[in-house]
A = this chain, B = another copy of it.
Amino acid sequence: MSRAADRSAQGETLSRAVWSVLAEQGLERLTVRAVAAAAGCTTGLVMHRFPNRRALLLHARQMLHRVTRVRVEALEAEAGSPRAALRAVLRQGMALDEQTRQESIVWMGFLAAAVTDEELIAEHRRNNRAWRERIERLTAAAAPEWTAERVATVTLGLITMTEGMAAYAAADPAAFPAADQERMLDSTLAAYGLA
């Protein structure tokens, strides 16, 4: 394997270690040593790959965005209709299983970390705006007769609902089972006339 591929693969391993620590131990225990331990290496390697801790977190944050974008684009391509695409893409944004539940916790951890970090908050805003534009595009395709304003308003309702649902279910999975989440999504799409 080439040197460049090695470096890239290590960056990926370390970013996944960041997610793992963030999901299992939370932001307060997200230290360079904890990440190194989760990645099975030492702090020396971490600090050779990244100039400092903030750069490590930023890389992990950006990689999280890329991974979810790939998954969402696959769902969108597989869907049989615009409305099916909209539903499938919104669905994966909730916390339906252990995998997506952990992603929600990681997501909230990055958001909490972004309060003090200018680069992290900028990344968060970029991603959120791209996400909103994606859902606006899917909503417009699912309801071609709607005005742009109607599309924007309904999109805002849909993205905030799935985001909030993920936060609730991540913090209390027993109280918000997957079936309830899906029923809620379907009834909301129906209420908006997107069923």
Please tell me the size bucket of the interface on A: 35 or more
Copies of this chain present = 2
Main secondary structure on chain A at its contact with chain B? helix
Stretch at the interface among A71-79, A112-120, A135-143: A112-120
Residue pair B157, A168 in contact (C-beta under 8 Å): no
A175 contact from B27, B115, B129, Cβ within 8 A: B129
Q: Which residues of B contact A153 (CB under 8 A)?
A: 180, 183-184, 187
Known A28-B28, A105-B115, A188-B188; further 14 A-B contacts with Cβ < 8 A: A27-B27, A28-B116, A29-B116, A112-B112, A121-B171, A125-B175, A128-B171, A156-B165, A156-B176, A160-B184, A163-B164, A164-B167, A167-B167, A191-B192
- List the 9 shortest-distance A-B pairs measured between CB atoms, nearest first: A164-B164, A26-B115, A160-B164, A163-B164, A112-B112, A26-B116, A191-B191, A160-B165, A156-B184
